[in-house]
């Protein structure tokens, strides 16, 4: 049985009554929901939030459902998100057009909440099976690589090679996860804060706190990508007093919240695994 609370569903529907009915029904089942009243906003929200599934009406002003689906399929990050069409038309031509664009399902209105929920469950279960298959195939590929081959190199240091500042960077590297500040670094290396600030800025063009933040963000990306730790756990591991402060700094630095960044990496990884699997199967 699926844990629906871990799934986010985007509903794109210009009719507010229908949209709210779907949202309330999905929320009652434990799904997280996002909604858009037109196709243009729907595409933007899909790219920003990377939902697990999209439900979209076909007949909408400005950008119709076909345009939404075509737009999402052009973006590698949204191309594999399951997509369910809603329409008042059940003609074969409309059905064929939707499927040719890559729709996963096609529901005709009016429909019951039970029909909608069943269609969503089926699509999410199929997506989960695909992810499992890609992960399994990727593991088999990795295990077939000779032991003497290097799959990935250790990440390079973010700090520049400046001998006069090596002690500063070494201290940041050893203590960035403890919530250090300019004052702590200056005390550790034996400089005044003003002198250290001027020296680092002159030789690197960055501030001491800027380098601390860069190192923290590098560690944050690694933990988000390579571990299953929650945002709260990662924030504590990096010396933040609370997850809100960490999330705010991450969003300011990367432009998106940590949860959305993680989901983007997972989707990119799935796309990469699929390409590897297809490449191997074609040999």
For the chain, the domain total comes to 2
Q: Name beta bridge partners: 36.
A: 12
- Look at residue 112 and tell me if it is in a domain: yes
Of 111, 133, 155, the residue at which a domain comes to its end is 133
Please tell me whether residues 127 and 168 are part of one structural domain. no
- Look at residue 142 and tell me if it is in a domain: no
Please tell me whether residues 191 and 250 are part of one structural domain. yes
- Look at residue 52 and tell me if it is in a domain: yes
pLDDT values of the chain reduced to their tens digit, one per residue, 283 residues: 455 556 899 999 998 999 999 999 999 999 999 999 999 999 999 988 888 899 999 988 889 999 999 888 887 778 778 899 988 766 677 777 777 777 888 888 888 888 999 999 988 887 777 665 545 554 454 444 454 443 333 456 889 888 888 899 999 999 998 888 888 999 998 888 888 888 888 888 888 988 999 999 999 999 998 888 899 999 999 988 888 889 988 988 888 899 989 888 888 777 666 666 555 555 5
Please tell me whether residues 67 and 174 are part of one structural domain. no
d(CA 198, CA 194): 6
Contacts of 249 (CB under 8 A, 6+ apart): 213, 216, 217, 240
d(CA 169, CA 174): 9
- Look at residue 150 and tell me if it is in a domain: no
CATH of the domain at 40: 3.40.50.2300
**Burial of residue 152 (number of CB atoms within 10 Å: 0-12, 13-18, 19+):** exposed
Please tell me whether residues 78 and 175 are part of one structural domain. no
Contact predicate 84/105, CB 8 Å: yes
Please tell me whether residues 107 and 187 are part of one structural domain. no
d(CA 55, CA 84): 5
120 closest CA partner among 82, 81, 147: 82
Q: 253: which 2 tokens? A: 């630095």
Please tell me whether residues 13 and 125 are part of one structural domain. yes
- Look at residue 20 and tell me if it is in a domain: yes
Range of the domain at 71: 4-133
Of 133, 148, 176, the residue at which a domain comes to its end is 133
Please tell me whether residues 40 and 110 are part of one structural domain. yes
d(CA 116, CA 102): 19
Please tell me whether residues 118 and 168 are part of one structural domain. no
Please tell me whether residues 210 and 92 are part of one structural domain. no
Please tell me whether residues 124 and 173 are part of one structural domain. no
CATH of the domain at 235: 1.10.10.60
Contacts of 43 (CB under 8 A, 6+ apart): 63, 68, 71, 72
């Amino acid at each position: 049985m699926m844990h629906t609370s871990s799934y986010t569903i985007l509903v794109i529907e210009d009719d507010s009554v229908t949209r709210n009915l779907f949202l309330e029904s999905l929320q009652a089942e434990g799904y997280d929901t996002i909604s858009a009243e037109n196709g243009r906003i729907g595409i933007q929200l899909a790219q920003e939030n990377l939902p697990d599934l999209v439900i979209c009406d076909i007949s909408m002003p400005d950008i119709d459902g076909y345009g939404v689906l075509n737009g999402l399929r052009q973006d590698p990050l949204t191309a594999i998100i399951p997509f369910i069409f809603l329409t008042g038309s059940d003609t074969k031509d409309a059905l064929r057009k939707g499927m040719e664009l890559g729709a996963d399902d096609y529901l005709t209105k009016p429909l019951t909440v039970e029909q909608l929920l069943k269609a969503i469950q089926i699509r999410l279960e199929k997506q989960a099976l695909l992810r499992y298959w890609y992960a399994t195939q990727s593991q088999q590929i990795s295990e077939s690589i000779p032991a003497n081959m290097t799959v990935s190199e250790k990440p390079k240091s973010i700090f520049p090679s400046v001998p006069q500042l090596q002690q500063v960077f070494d201290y940041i590297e050893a203590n960035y996860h403890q919530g250090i500040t300019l004052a702590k670094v200056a005390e550790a290396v034996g400089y005044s804060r003003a002198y250290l600030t001027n020296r680092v800025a002159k030789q690197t063009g960055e501030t001491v706190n800027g380098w601390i933040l860069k190192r923290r963000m590098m560690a944050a990306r690694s933990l988000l990508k390579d571990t299953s730790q929650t945002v709260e756990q990662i924030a504590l591991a990096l010396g933040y007093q609370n997850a809100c402060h960490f999330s705010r700094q991450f969003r300011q630095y990367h432009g998106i919240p940590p949860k959305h960044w993680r989901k983007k990496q997972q989707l990119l990884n799935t796309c990469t695994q699929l390409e590897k699997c297809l490449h191997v199967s074609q040999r």
